[in-house]
């Protein structure tokens, strides 16, 4: 099933009102009527920030009204804090004050004026009111302490989704008129509201294996969830949420009579709103507040539905939810979601358009070409599928897309190619191509209004390449596709070392020969050693074991990294090799056969290790080694590792029989013993060819003899038959294609001959 990233316009409807300091004039007060002013009382008129009273606008156009049927405007009681100096303690705190409703829908709260209060407010005062508080307050709190007080609500408790009330707060200066005082206080909800309106396609066609399938949504079983909402906050200050403060809430996504229509598109599916206290999150954060939609789809004519999932961030630009805001999201869902709930289809940040709620300039090219009052800016989208592509020995691929406008041909292009090369030992060299001349061979063709074709012929680079394709439409929306192109033959490297050789771990601490001394014949040995100054007398996991004359004669270690070789196919130009006047054609396959050895055949190669390291009969029974048969000479494994120079033997080399067992007991960098073997002739020739082309460092040195699994030895491009006493050097290989990349503990000898 196709997984796609759907892009939609996203409008943030913000109930955001700047709190302005308002002082009533005598005319203003007179206009309030006798029901507002009352001798001997302070009268507080409470307005929601979307209301307007007697020409005094207490809202801006960037607002949206609360809904009475959802109790969003309901006030049950209020707590009043009265200050003569907002930096000092409140001169009076009245909790649980009852309210009445005026004819215009405003709320009225009164408190009696005492002589003490009148004296304290002789030079004016300020009132801060909390409507529907969830906690009690201490007397004498400063305004800052009040705003930092905790507010909490269980936004999941109502099965109907309707909350019984919402905590609100606001403040305003107090004005006097003889023996009466008056203040109009705008209120701001401490929570935020989230509403999603969806337009869901009635059917979706997908082509699989040249067969077109029609998928139908089950509109009666759709759900929508708010994930990582917050049940706790502060009255009007930042709050750091604890794990226990987060909640998830699910509602039914259904056709409703409160649907929205714009430019002929009806967003008919919605839900009971979600609510949350303010929260924020990082760019990558498991606590990001998101909406998840579940839509069951079925193939037309079948009765079986598959749940698919979509997910979008509440605010991808600012990554936060703020108090007293309504977040309204419009979705056009035209594709199948992800069948895996853990990996839902996600919105890409480049597809978001966030605008204030209110009068929106749709701009030239709209249906009206004028400013229109509405909530929706423009439906924009760009989907690209897939966004991650693996090309195994492929030179081209097709990428599907859907877009609300044509693609920008100039800016739909490959912007970067990066890959590594391994010409020398040590850290691989990073190559990054960004200039137009280098990228010209990576060709992009917009073949239709639904497909892009990418083409890149292999150019002799024997490593995989990461190719960055930028897809941009005429509305400026952009997606990036990463294509990883593997040639038929490619290599990479990784750190070597921690090699177990003849009973010891060698080169386990660092890449130098520190802690070692040099013999007169050029071999290395650990300090304070015996046994002809060649081997440490006792087992030491951090001893340097005797590397051979080969290194001393060259003056350095030829390759201290493990080399990874991958082979998927050969062609007429590279599919064979010639040695000794004979031509051999590479055969990709498994060169291994059962060793048929007993523990006693192997134990002497562990004689210098501690007694608790032994090969069991089961280890021996499962052991596979490379075949010596002539028919296996040209076999090359599809993926294998070549040991580093730390695994080579000393001055005189070893016999073929010893080399086989030395390879079987070898371990390096956590790749266990029992899984290494001698390389086939084909594997040696392939690696030698790669090093002759400068693609990898030298692994098989000209003039040196190396054992092949056939029993013949390699030297400078040819193989030779060996007599009974011939001694050669050893490079071992590890069958990645069979064993994978799992490691055992580094520095601990581990025998694994079975999966």
Name residues of the chain where pLDDT drops below 50.
Answer: 1-35, 50-64, 348-379, 426, 507-558, 608-612
- 192-370 and 382-486 share one fold: yes
For residue 562, the SS3 value is strand
Rounded-to-integer distance, Cα 663 and Cα 727, Å: 15
**According to CATH, what is the number of the domain 382-486?**
2.60.40
Exposed / middle / buried, residue 284 (Cβ in 10 Å: 0-12, 13-18, 19+) = exposed
Topology of the domain covering 192-370: Immunoglobulin-like (2.60.40)
For the chain, the first-to-last Cα distance in angstroms comes to 33
**742: which strand partners?**
none
Rounded-to-integer distance, Cα 322 and Cα 279, Å: 7
Sole residue written with tokens 């998840």: 292
Residue ranges of domains in the chain: 26-189, 192-370, 382-486, 493-497+558-739
For residue 748, the SS3 value is coil
Q: What is the pTM of this model?
A: 0.46
CA nearest to 646, candidates 681, 671, 613, 682: 671
Dihedral of the alpha carbons of 321, 327, 333, 339, in degrees to the nearest 10:
30
pLDDT value of residue 293: 94
CA nearest to 66, candidates 133, 163, 160: 163
| 33 φ/ψ angles, rounded to the nearest 5 degrees | 85, 170
Exposed / middle / buried, residue 185 (Cβ in 10 Å: 0-12, 13-18, 19+) = buried
Question: Residue 665's CB: how many other CB atoms inside 10 A?
Answer: 25
Rounded-to-integer distance, Cα 571 and Cα 393, Å: 11
Structure tokens at 250: 């699910």
pLDDT value of residue 61: 28
Rounded-to-integer distance, Cα 614 and Cα 622, Å: 15
pLDDT value of residue 234: 95
Rounded-to-integer distance, Cα 443 and Cα 298, Å: 38
């Amino acid at each position: 099933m196709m997984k796609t990233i759907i892009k939609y316009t996203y409008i943030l409807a913000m109930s955001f009102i700047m709190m302005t300091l308002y002082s009533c004039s005598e005319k203003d007060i007179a206009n309030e009527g006798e029901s507002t002013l009352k001798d001997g009382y302070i009268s507080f008129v409470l307005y929601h920030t979307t209301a307007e009273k007697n020409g005094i606008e207490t809202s801006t156009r960037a607002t949206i009204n609360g809904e009475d049927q959802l109790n969003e405007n309901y006030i049950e009681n209020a707590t009043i804090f009265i200050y003569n100096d907002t930096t000092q303690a409140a001169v009076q705190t009245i909790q649980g004050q009852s309210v009445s409703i005026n004819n215009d829908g405003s709320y009225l709260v009164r408190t009696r004026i005492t002589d003490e209060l009148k004296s304290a407010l002789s030079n004016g005062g300020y009132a801060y009111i909390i409507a529907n508080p969830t906690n009690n307050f201490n007397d004498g709190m400063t305004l800052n302490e009040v705003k930092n007080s905790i507010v909490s609500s269980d936004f999941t408790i109502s099965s109907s989704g309707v909350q019984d009330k919402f905590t609100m707060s606001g403040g305003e200066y107090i004005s006097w008129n003889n023996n009466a005082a008056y203040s109009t206080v705008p209120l701001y909800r401490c929570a935020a509201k989230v509403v999603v309106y969806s337009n869901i396609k009635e059917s979706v066609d997908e082509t699989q294996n040249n067969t077109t399938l029609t998928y139908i949504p089950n509109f009666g079983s759709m759900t929508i969830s708010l994930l990582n909402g917050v049940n706790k906050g502060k009255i009007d200050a930042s709050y750091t949420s604890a794990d226990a403060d987060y909640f998830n809430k699910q509602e039914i996504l259904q056709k409703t009579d409160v649907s929205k229509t714009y430019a002929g598109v009806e967003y008919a599916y919605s839900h009971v709103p979600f609510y949350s206290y303010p929260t924020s999150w990082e760019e990558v954060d498991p606590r990001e507040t998101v909406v998840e939609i579940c839509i069951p789809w079925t193939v037309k004519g079948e009765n079986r539905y598959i749940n698919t999932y979509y997910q979008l961030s509440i605010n991808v630009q600012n990554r936060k939810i703020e108090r007293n805001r309504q977040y309204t999201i419009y979705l056009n869902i035209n594709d199948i979601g992800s069948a895996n709930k853990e990996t839902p289809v996600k919105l890409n940040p480049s597809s978001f358009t966030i605008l204030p709620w209110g009068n929106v300039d749709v701009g030239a090219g709209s249906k009206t070409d004028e400013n229109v009052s509405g909530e929706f800016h423009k439906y924009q989208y760009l989907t690209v599928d897939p966004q991650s592509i693996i090309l195994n020995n492929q030179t081209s691929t097709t990428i599907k897309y859907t877009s609300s406008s044509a693609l920008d041909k100039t800016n739909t292009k490959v912007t970067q190619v990066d890959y590594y090369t391994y010409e020398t030992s040590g850290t691989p060299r990073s190559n990054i191509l960004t200039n137009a001349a280098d990228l010209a061979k990576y060709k992009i063709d917009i073949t239709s209004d639904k497909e892009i074709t990418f083409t890149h012929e292999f150019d002799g680079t024997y490593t995989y390449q990461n190719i960055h394709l930028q897809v941009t439409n005429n509305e400026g929306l952009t997606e990036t596709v990463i294509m990883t192109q593997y040639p038929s033959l490619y290599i990479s490297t990784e750190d070597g070392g921690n090699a177990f050789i003849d009973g010891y771990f060698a080169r386990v601490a660092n890449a130098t020969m520190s802690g070692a001394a040099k013999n007169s014949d050029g071999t290395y040995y650990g300090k304070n050693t015996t046994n002809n100054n060649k081997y440490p007398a006792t087992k030491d996991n951090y001893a340097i074991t005797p590397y051979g004359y080969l290194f001393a004669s060259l003056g350095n270690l030829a390759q201290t990294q493990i080399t990874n070789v991958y082979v998927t196919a050969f062609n007429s130009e590279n599919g064979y090799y010639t040695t000794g006047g004979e031509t051999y054609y590479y055969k990709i396959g498994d060169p291994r056969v059962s060793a048929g050895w007993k523990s006693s055949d192997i134990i002497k190669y562990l004689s210098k290790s501690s007694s608790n390291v032994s090969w069991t009969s089961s280890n021996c029974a499962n052991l596979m080694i490379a075949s010596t048969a002539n028919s296996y000479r040209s076999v090359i494994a599809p993926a294998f590792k070549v040991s580093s120079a730390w695994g080579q033997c000393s001055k005189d080399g070893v016999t073929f029989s010893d080399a086989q067992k030395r390879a079987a007991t070898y371990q390096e960098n956590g790749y266990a013993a029992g899984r290494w073997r001698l390389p086939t002739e084909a594997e040696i020739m392939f690696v030698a060819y790669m090093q002759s082309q400068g693609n990898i460092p030298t692994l098989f040195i000209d003039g040196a003899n190396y054992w092949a699994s056939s029993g013949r030895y390699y030297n400078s491009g040819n193989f030779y038959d060996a007599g009974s006493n011939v001694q050669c050097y050893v490079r071992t290989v590890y069958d990645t294609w069979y064993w994978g990349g799992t490691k055992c503990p580094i520095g601990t000898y581990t025998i694994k001959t079975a999966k």
